[in-house]
Amino acid sequence: MTKKTKIILNGCMGKLGTAISSLKYTNCTIVFGVDIAQVATNKDFPIYSTLTECTATADVVIDCSSAAGLQNLLKFGIDKNIPLVICTTALTAEDNSAIKAAAQQIAILQSANMSLGINLLLNIVNKSAKLLYNSQFDIEIIEKHHNQKKDSPSGTALSLANAINSSLKNNLDYVTDRTKKQASRSKAEIGIHSIRGGTIAGEHSVIFAGNNETIEFKHQAITREVFATGALKAAQFITKQPAGLYSMQNVIEDTFVF
């Protein structure tokens, strides 16, 4: 019998946490959840208000809480020598530096979007950008999310912009509000546009607009199940890795043969 991966679900009452705990899975089990709300009555695992309240053993922490709890999460991972899957967005440069430092001691997988499809899209736009940009294509990103999402642009939109920019020697600037400057579009920019409304789970489009032709790559999440499934794949992947910082690109490479 295959051993089940034992998961601590941090932020279990949030949108992603709820999606993960609602999945029907056979090779994973949630040993306990953590959430400051701590009011769930329909979960089949105990819920605590802090990570340190439960002593149950686990193989990995999936974190889908908030940036405010990052330092406690990293300390818990190091103290318990347990791998982390960090799904939290809106992290600062200081937060990312702290994650890199912690990854010298434990295995950490960090991703702003756990969807396998989005992470395949990151590969595609990275490989497409240099050719199309040098062929005089302008690059724009449009992201759409539900009306409760607080950060803007989304972490995924920024990841897409970073994937594009990295193939262009990071020479492009990100423009998120053109109302501040009444001028023609600069060639050396990536426009990023955010839409908030309704219950949109997540849509991201990357548009390469050239002379008399347009190429558009688009990913649409129908439900949050795609992110939940990816998070579980990430959890199973990271438990097999030595200390270091990983991303969903590593899971893509481990899952698919190119």
The full DSSP string for the chain is -PPPEEEEEETTTSHHHHHHHHS--SSEEEEEEE-SS---SS-SS-EESSGGG-----SEEEE-S-GGGHHHHHHHHHHHT--EEE---S--HHHHHHHHHHTTTSEEEE-S---HHHHHHHHHHHHHHHHHHTTT-EEEEEEEE-TT--SSS-HHHHHHHHHHHHTTTT-PEEES-GGG--SPPPSSEEEEEEEE-TT---EEEEEEE-SS-EEEEEEE-SSTHHHHHHHHHHHHHHTTS-SEEE-HHHHHHHH---
Catalytic residue among 6, 144, 145, 193: 145
What interhelical angle do 116-133 and 225-238 show, nearest 10?
A: 90
Examine the residue annotation and report whether 204 is marked as an active-site residue of this protein: no
Catalytic residue among 6, 43, 144, 149: 149
Examine the residue annotation and report whether 24 is marked as an active-site residue of this protein: no
Hey, which residues are catalytic here? 145, 149
